[in-house]
Structure 1
Amino acid sequence: MRLYPPGRRTLHHGASRAHAPARRGRSRGRLPPGASSGGPPVTTQSVSEELLRLKNVRKYFGLPGAPWRQAQAVKAVDGVNFVVRKGETVGLVGESGSGKSTLARVATRLLDPTQGSVEIGGVDVTNVRGRKLRPVRRKIQMVFQDPQASLNPRQSVGTILSTPFRAQGIRPTRAQLVELLQQVGLSEEHLERYPHEFSGGQRQRIGIARALSVKPDLLVCDEPVSALDVSVQAQVLNLLADLRDELGLSYVLVAHDLAVVRQVTSRLAVMYLGTIVEEGPADQVYSAPAHPYTKALLSAVPVPEPGVERDRIVLTGDVPTPIAPPSGCPFRTRCYKVQDVCATVRPVLEPVHGSTEHRAACYFPEPPPPERTR
């Protein structure tokens, strides 16, 4: 994906240049074509301060059935450990049905985990519910995939943006609501309008503004651009990058398209059948994938260089049912490197390629690519 170059800003549909919000503070940096796949650098501060930690999280959904049948459950998330530190933008990628969105909802405490713990800002909030969740909501917010479904069609934009304030016992001023709109590239005139009057990209901007209202440290974005046109995707990704730089935000970006998150992530975690099979610095995972599943996913991403093609890896077979996942490695039924040991014990995330940060859950990880000679 090519994001807009420096100095160029595309206004939202239906808005005139006269209504564009004035720039405040430092200028918003753009993500130029060919930007580093590694995303923003992780500072020393970001390494030490954890915003989110999931420990051995499982989320099972029960299935209805006759009383005499054995109870069954969909193992949507099956033993995940996951950390987000201050200053990071973490991409959470995988096929549809891999458990990404469920994990995002558990992380934001929209769903209760079946097992494991959720720590936000160093505090265990696994069993926190009701009014006691209000302080948690100030630290972590979620941006949903479908803005049309997540915005109340009977409420004006002003009312939608006021809802998080009121949930915290705060009555917002009009100036505060206008400031939120300006942060996402909209203007005061949109406060009295309703969601159906906006384009998909504008509605997603409203969803982002709503999430920003309580000034969170971490935004969890569940497929924030998958329902948008390619050109609008670039605008929303640029907006997220701008907000990260201006407000010091951290992100978890859930996506199934690795090309989308490549430009803005500092770290990447790959999910398959409810588990994380590989994680590490984004540039290392993209340039030297260690897990066969990650390598297969990346082989489907077009190379932005004329005349250069990847060797496509086509996986055989269907994704196993999460009701009865395979023994041992969950990927073994589709893996081109499978051996007998893969069916015994599930592999755990281990360091690969001489890096302590790059880890893969595989008995036979891919070797690092040979160094290019000049």
Structure 2
Amino acid sequence: MSTDELLHLKDVKKYFGLRGAPWRKSGAVKAVDGVNLVVRRGETVGLVGESGSGKSTLARVSTRLLDPTAGTVEIGGKDVTRVRGRKLRPVRRKIQMVFQDPQASLNPRQSVGTILTTPFRAQGIRPTRAQLVELLRQVGLSEEHLERYPHEFSGGQRQRIGIARALAVKPDLLVCDEPVSALDVSVQAQVLNLLADLRDELGLSYVLVAHDLAVVSQVADRLAVMYFGTIVEEGPAAEVYSAPAHPYTRALLSAVPVPEPGAKRERIVLTGDVPTLIDPPSGCPFRTRCYKAEDVCATTRPVLEPVAGGEHRVACYFPEGDVINQRLSADAGDDTFSATTGTSVPPR
């Protein structure tokens, strides 16, 4: 493992047991089913997908809040897959999590000062008031907020407190599970800007979980698209946004609003049945909704393979060839691909 790799997931699986009932057979929900992911130092990885795709479960397995059913979790070059109890303390110093709902993740009976003190005590450290004030300063709050309780803050301020708590032990990597989905649109930009500033100031790395591709586009260096517990496309964010190779990624991008007056994006509406995690389809899990599915898609699950070379990879037997050809032509100087319209635009 490279010294620059802060997090390395190898064929990670997480299944949840499902008890049997008179009208159904017992089985397992395959929330995460064979994920490989690397997060390097100084990198922001966006993990996107629909609700139920396994993003949050993968985030909790990555931070060792959940035990993986199979596979390997390496944090800071050390295999921590089976590490538990007190032995996890050094791991917690390297990786922390920011939760989706700040109101639910903060103890309503504790003051902000007590909340920020908890991570220090878990590491056997007694913090000074100056250290707590510095944490608040880093997230845009002040000393007077130490004595207040979570219900006295707005949603954006509560999320800042959650970020401050995660920063208490000076981690190298923050896993943010949809950190702005519960906030107003105007506040979302403020929190994302805060995360970007902290990355520059503290040298942090991020795994940014989101279902909105427009959110991660502002800060992500690399993008991983999840569907049905697996990663179906991965690569540099600019390449995935400009030339999505998987039909699912292209459908997600078609739903992103265009920030230009009068501009419209051709919407791709997915049809067919949404599969269930209890009884997954054979072959490619997306084939029941895919507009390009063929017979081969029902036999064997595709694996991530490079798209026209480079780091951009896709798990699809029939990737968006027209998009790939347009990108190759653009590299040759013939034309430029427009992510807004999904067509080629002649060079000016």
| Amino-acid identity (%) | 86
Aligned pairs for 1:247-326 within 5 A: 247-326=202-281
Residue 167 (1) aligns with residue 122 (2): yes
Instruction: Supply the distance in 1 between the matched residues of 2:309 and 2:153 (Cα, whole angstroms).
Output: 46
CA RMSD of superposed structures (Å): 1.3
TM-score (norm: length of structure 2):
0.92
Question: Mean Cα displacement is larger for which, 48-57 or 327-336?
Answer: 48-57
Deviation at 1:345, TM superposition (A): 0.7
Could you tell me how far apart the structure 2 residues matched to 1:102 and 1:66 are?
A: 25
Superposed displacement of residue 64, structure 1: 1.8
Q: Map residues 42-57 of structure 1 onto 2, 5 A cutoff.
A: 49-57=4-12
Is 2:309 aligned against 1:355?
A: yes
CA distance in structure 2 between the partners assigned to 1:193 and 1:356 by the alignment: 51
Alignment of 1:117 onto 2:76: no
Q: Which amino acid aligns with 2:38?
A: V
- How many Å separate the matches in 1 of 2:119 and 2:31? 29
Per-residue CA deviation, residues 331-355 of structure 1 (Å, 9 max, x unaligned), is 0000000011001110000000x23
The answer to whether the aligner puts 1:192 opposite 2:147 as a matched pair is yes
Q: 2:98–2:174: 8 Å Cα contact kept in structure 1?
A: yes
Alpha-carbon distance, 1:71 to partner: 2.9
Q: Is 1:241 equivalent to 2:186 in the alignment? A: no
Corresponding residue SS for 1:356: coil
Residue in structure 2 matched with residue 42 of structure 1 by the alignment: none
The aligned amino acid for 2:176 is: C
CA distance in 2, matches of 1:355, 1:204: 40
Number of residue pairs aligned between Structure 1 and Structure 2: 327
1:82 has 2:34 as partner: no
Q: Distance in 1 between matches of 2:22 and 2:64?
A: 31
- 1:340 aligns with 295
User: Which shows bigger deviation, 229-238 or 306-315?
Assistant: 306-315
Q: 168, 171, 176: which is aligned to 1:216?
A: 171
- Amino acid across the alignment from 2:80: V
- In 1, are the aligned partners of 2:30 and 2:278 still within 8 Å (CA)? yes
User: 1-side partners of 2:273 and 2:76: how far apart?
Assistant: 39
Task: Find the counterpart in structure 2 of residue 364 from structure 1.
Answer: 318
| Cα distance, 1:63 vs structure 2 | 1.0
Aligned residue for 2:225, secondary structure, equals: strand
* Aligned twin of 1:13: none
1:149 corresponds to which of 76, 101, 104: 104
TM-score, length-scaled by structure 1: 0.86
CA distance in 1 between counterparts of 2:262 and 2:152 reads 43
Change (3 A) 1:311 1:48: farther
**Using the alignment, how far apart are the partners of 1:67 and 1:311 within structure 2?**
47
CA apart distance, 1:319: 1.8
2:89 maps to: 134
Q: Which runs of 5+ in 2 are unaligned?
A: 330-334, 337-346
Q: Aligned letter for 1:166? A: R
- The whole-number CA distance in structure 2 between the counterparts of 1:229 and 1:205 is 14
Deviation for aligned residue 1:306 = 2.5
Offset at residue 325 of structure 1 (A): 1.0
Please state whether the residue corresponding to 1:355 is helix, strand or coil: coil
Q: Which has the higher contact order (CA 8 A, sep 6+)?
A: 1
Asked whether the equivalents of residues 303 and 314 of structure 2 are also in contact (C-alpha less than 8 Å), the reply is yes
Q: Which whole-Å deviations, capped at 9, do the CAs of 1:302-328 have from their partners, x for residues lacking one?
A: 122233222110000232001111111
**What CA distance in whole angstroms lies between the structure 2 residues aligned with 1:67 and 1:333?**
28
Amino acid at match of 2:309: S
For residues 291 and 242 of structure 2, what CA distance do their matches in structure 1 show? Answer: 20
How far apart, CA to CA, are the structure 1 residues paired with 2:261 and 2:247?
26
Aligned-partner Cα distance in 1 for 2:26–2:71: 21
Which piece of structure 1 moves more, 297-306 or 265-274?
297-306
Q: Please report how far the alpha carbon of residue 53 of structure 1 lies from its aligned counterpart in structure 2 after TM superposition.
A: 0.5
- C-alpha distance in structure 2 between counterparts of 1:238 and 1:52, whole Å: 24
Contiguous gaps of at least 5 residues in structure 1:
1-46
Match of 1:94 in 2: 49
Q: 2: CA distance between counterparts of 1:319 and 1:48?
A: 40
SS of residue in 1 equivalent to 2:259: coil
Q: Structure 1's 288 and 48: CA in aligned 2 closer, same or farther, altered over 3 A?
A: farther
Q: Deviations over 1:116-153 (max 9, x none)?
A: 01000110000000000000000000000000000000
